[in-house]
Amino acid sequence: MGRHQRAETSGLVSFLVCAVIGAISMNLYMEYAPPIWQLTQRRFMVCAGIVALCGVFSFIIGYGRKSRSLNLRHGWFAPIRRVFEIASLSVVYAATIFLSSFALVGVANDMMGNAIFSGYISSVCAAFAGVVGYMTFVQAEMMNAKTIAGLLPFFVVSGVATAGMTTDDPYWYLNNFSQLGDRSTFAARMFNSTLILAGSCIIIVSYFAISELVATERLQRLWHDRTKSDPNRGYEIPHFAARIAVLSLLLTVSGLAFIGIGVFRYTPHHILHNVCAKGLPAVMLLLFGLLPWLAPRLSKAVMVASDLTALVCAAFWANMMLGHNTLTNVEALAGMAFLGWFIVFSRQIAAIEADRVAAQLLHAQAIEGGFEQPHDEPDQQIESRIAADR
């Protein structure tokens, strides 16, 4: 069997194992949990937690079993860094699976009714755990940057939608989004936790995106050094280290701003909350405005779209200052605009990765066919940090 077929076959095994674990775990919980933990929302939280744990363990096994860095062959730093990368990706998957599963279980409960659904929750947990175990194992085997970029909107939409549907303040939207998280209720904790996880995932995905830009630059410089007579084969970006450092800083600060909004609720920490909430648009404007200098390998369409997004956000803010709009709408637009931009940015990085891999494959085929001379530093050593077999 080839690589893809083996991944699908292993995913089916993971499906069966996770489904059995999910059913047994949920049955044990329903039988032995105290009455206070048999409440509907807590029961759903436990179900989503079991599904998330099954998915994370399936991902770790599928992603780490073929890694070439989990040994001391290259010193202590390589396995430590690889463990950190696996843990970071596990956080992204855990957040996505937990919040998405919780939202889906809530929707199913509303459709079937609480009395009917409570008798099927073990079966639902087993089904969710099996599907998630299958998907995470296959994705771990075939991991790339585009997969990670596609995960971000799921848990953000799920978490915010769940918080909005379960809040006890039906008029929160008349004020601003901070009102949704400015309580000690379940909905407020869900909203704040979503922001914290979103910020963490932005930082984690940014790490892998930056590593891919570095890998692409290394390959371009290598080819440029080998073929200086052919300037179209590759080109170097001037001051690349400074550009990548500024880009890393801005992306990290944006992630920290999301985390700060969730950690510091407005009522007890209004100064810190406002610093994070109002500082995020400033970081957005810097990212959008400096993007042609920070990441010149991105397509021109992304840069134009970034400028248009900044102009639209500024127009909405000006409209609010004139009294024709609400702060909630402006916050929603700014937050969703940044997350949308970040998803597009991540997918552009994924496209750069795919093009780099294809170029390296063509180069290797040219060497095998005798059209090019082999070199001391093979291109296959230049690869993304996200590769499962790295």
Mean pLDDT on 186-205: 81
Q: Measuring CA to CA, which residue among 247, 212, 237 is closest to residue 356?
A: 212
Would you state the pLDDT for residue 299?
85
Would you state the pLDDT for residue 25?
92
CA–CA distances in Å: residue 104 to residues 45, 137, 138, 162, 230: 11, 21, 22, 10, 55
Of 99-113, 133-147, 178-192, 371-385, the range with the lowest mean pLDDT is: 371-385
Question: What's the structural domain count of the chain?
Answer: 1
Tokens of 235: 């080109």
Mean pLDDT on 363-387: 56
DSSP state of 237: P
DSSP state of 371: S
Query: Predicted confidence band at 205 (pLDDT cuts at 50, 70, 90)?
Result: confident
pLDDT tens figures, 219-263: 777 766 555 544 444 566 778 888 999 999 999 999 898 888 888
Domain assignment of residue 355, yes or no: yes
pLDDT above 90 coverage of the chain, percent:
12
146 contact partners, CB below 8 Å, separation of at least 6? 346, 347, 350, 351, 353, 354
Domain assignment of residue 223, yes or no: yes
> 3-class DSSP state for residue 388?
coil
Q: Are 278 and 256 in contact (CB under 8 A)?
A: no
Domain assignment of residue 327, yes or no: yes
Query: Predicted confidence band at 266 (pLDDT cuts at 50, 70, 90)?
Result: confident
Would you state the pLDDT for residue 21?
94
What's the CA gap between 210 and 213, in Å, rounded?
Answer: 5
Tokens of 99: 């919040």
Mean pLDDT on 181-187: 70
Q: Report the predicted TM-score, pTM, of the whole model to 2 decimal places.
A: 0.77
Domain assignment of residue 368, yes or no: yes
Q: Measuring CA to CA, which residue among 384, 366, 388 is closest to residue 375?
A: 366
Would you state the pLDDT for residue 19?
94
Domain assignment of residue 31, yes or no: no
Would you state the pLDDT for residue 339?
80
Mean pLDDT on 308-336: 77
Instruction: Give residue 326's identity as a one-letter amino acid code.
Output: T
Query: Predicted confidence band at 155 (pLDDT cuts at 50, 70, 90)?
Result: low
Mean pLDDT on 159-169: 66
Domain assignment of residue 100, yes or no: no
Give the largest CA-CA distance in the chain: 76
Mean pLDDT on 118-134: 88
Residue that the structure tokens 């998907």 belong to? 135
pLDDT above 70 coverage of the chain, percent:
75
CA dihedral 227, 299, 251, 180 (to 10 degrees): -160
CA–CA distances in Å: residue 374 to residues 111, 198, 215, 329: 63, 45, 20, 58
Domain assignment of residue 264, yes or no: yes
Q: Average model confidence (pLDDT) for the chain?
A: 78
Would you state the pLDDT for residue 133?
92
Would you state the pLDDT for residue 45?
86
Q: Are 280 and 195 in contact (CB under 8 A)?
A: no
Burial of 329 (0-12, 13-18, 19+ CB in 10 A): middle
Query: Predicted confidence band at 180 (pLDDT cuts at 50, 70, 90)?
Result: low
- Quick check: 389 pLDDT over 90? no
User: What is the extent of the structural domain holding 214?
Assistant: 210-390
Query: Predicted confidence band at 90 (pLDDT cuts at 50, 70, 90)?
Result: confident
> 3-class DSSP state for residue 343?
helix
Query: Predicted confidence band at 96 (pLDDT cuts at 50, 70, 90)?
Result: confident
Domain assignment of residue 189, yes or no: no
- Quick check: 379 pLDDT over 50? no
What's the CA gap between 267 and 285, in Å, rounded?
Answer: 27
What's the CA gap between 304 and 27, in Å, rounded?
Answer: 53
Mean pLDDT on 207-212: 84
